[in-house]
Structure 1
Amino acid sequence: MEIRTATYTDLDRIYAIECASFPQKEAATYPSLSRRLQVHPDQYWVLETTDSMKPNNKVILGFIGGMRTNHPKILDEMFNNAALHDPNGKWLAVLGLAVAPVYRQKGYASRLLSETIQQTKAVGAAGITLTCKNDLVAFYQRFAFKDAGISGSNHGGVTWHDMILAL
């Protein structure tokens, strides 16, 4: 099992996991994910393992990804405009973390988040920002994210919490 930087060839699997993980109004569209993987694939990571039935086949279990920005909080336009990515941005804005339903409750989301924190620290970023629903606040707090309160984002018509990890 390994975590690696995503490539454009991972798009179909990432999209399938996205659709299985979020309600339609919250999920990234195929064109949006496609554009993100074209503009900033180095800000997307996948957790991959070998298929036990087909040893030459790799299976993506989950992914995490976002964009670099100088905004310490998520802006709604980040979800649909990959051009807002700033390769020199001081913050990683996580736009999605998802694990395929069949692989959940095995610690894979934690592994993806831990690796992302390490990678983001390694490049000297100021921190990581993301939004989450109320039921996931405690999950992110286990990784030292601070709940900055209700977000200004209304992506998908949902109430989100701004979560910030200063590095």
Structure 2
Amino acid sequence: MGFSDLRRTRSATNKFTKERIYVRTLMLSDLEACVALEEAAFISSERCPRETFSYRLKVCPELCFGIFTIRRSKEYLLGHVIATKTLSSSVTESSMAVATSRNSPHNPAGPTIALHSLAIQPAHQGRYLGSTLLQEYIQRMSVGGCVQRIALIARDRLVGFYERFGFRCNGVSPVKFGGGEWMDLVREI
């Protein structure tokens, strides 16, 4: 299952409890949880559509991870990283496109991982889950030499967060998704 962590968290009764947090590859059966998380974490213009999630979880699940906990014997998605591979050295409009019969935005031979979504449930933000998930993701993607870099677009207010993980800001991205004004970030592997 990958990363495992026992965290002391405060329960509803104000007592500390141990919570098992782990990272695993996402599957198509996680589709509804991913869609719900995206709806909770992003404004509507910045959300990934259900069809795009379905495509990404079908064609490249090895690039998509979730951070989970178990409560009352049920797995609960706390956050996710969703990605594809591209031939470009950065995230482009075509790498983010919805798949059609003529267009497949994922290119398995691509040397770049286009990280499309890093999201944490709003109720669980501030617990370092995003940092934990991103660190684990970078570590896993760095093994095996299959990729040269991880690229993403982010709002200006998040640049510092990604720079702490070795991403370099290349200025404003030409991508117009969600109204544009994204910053282009790349981390070489």
Provide the TM-score with structure 2 as the length reference.
0.84
Distance in 2 between residues matched to 1:13 and 1:163, nearest whole Å: 27
Q: Find the residue that maps to 1:92 and give its secondary structure.
A: strand
The reply to whether residue 159 of structure 1 matches residue 181 of structure 2 is: yes
Q: Find the residue that maps to 2:126 and give its secondary structure.
A: coil
Asked if structure 1 preserves the Cα contact closer than 8 Å seen for 2:51 and 2:98, the reply is: no
2:34 to 8, 14, 17: 14
Deviation at 1:80, TM superposition (A): 2.8
Structure 1 portions without partners, runs of 5+: none
Distance in 1 between residues matched to 2:172 and 2:97, nearest whole Å: 21
2:68 to 35, 43, 48: 48
The reply to whether residue 74 of structure 1 matches residue 91 of structure 2 is: yes
Misfit runs of 4+, over 4 Å: none
2:51 to 13, 19, 31: 31
Deviation at 1:39, TM superposition (A): 1.3
Structure 2 portions without partners, runs of 5+: 1-20
Asked if structure 1 preserves the Cα contact closer than 8 Å seen for 2:114 and 2:150, the reply is: yes
Deviation at 1:123, TM superposition (A): 2.9
Residue equivalent to 2:16: none
Asked if structure 2 preserves the Cα contact closer than 8 Å seen for 1:28 and 1:79, the reply is: no
Q: Quick one: which amino acid aligns to residue 49 of structure 2?
A: T
The reply to whether residue 130 of structure 1 matches residue 152 of structure 2 is: yes
Q: How many residues were matched structurally?
A: 164
Greater RCO (CA < 8 Å, at least 6 residues apart): 1
Distance in 1 between residues matched to 2:124 and 2:111, nearest whole Å: 32
The reply to whether residue 93 of structure 1 matches residue 117 of structure 2 is: no
Compare 106-115 and 72-81 and name the one that shifted more.
72-81
Q: Find the residue that maps to 1:84 and give its secondary structure.
A: coil
| Cα-Cα RMSD | 1.1
Comparing both structures, which one devotes a greater share of its residues to helix? 1
Provide the TM-score with structure 1 as the length reference.
0.94
Residue equivalent to 2:132: 111
Q: How does 1:49-64 map to 2 (within 5 A)?
A: 49-51=69-71, 54=72, 56-64=73-81
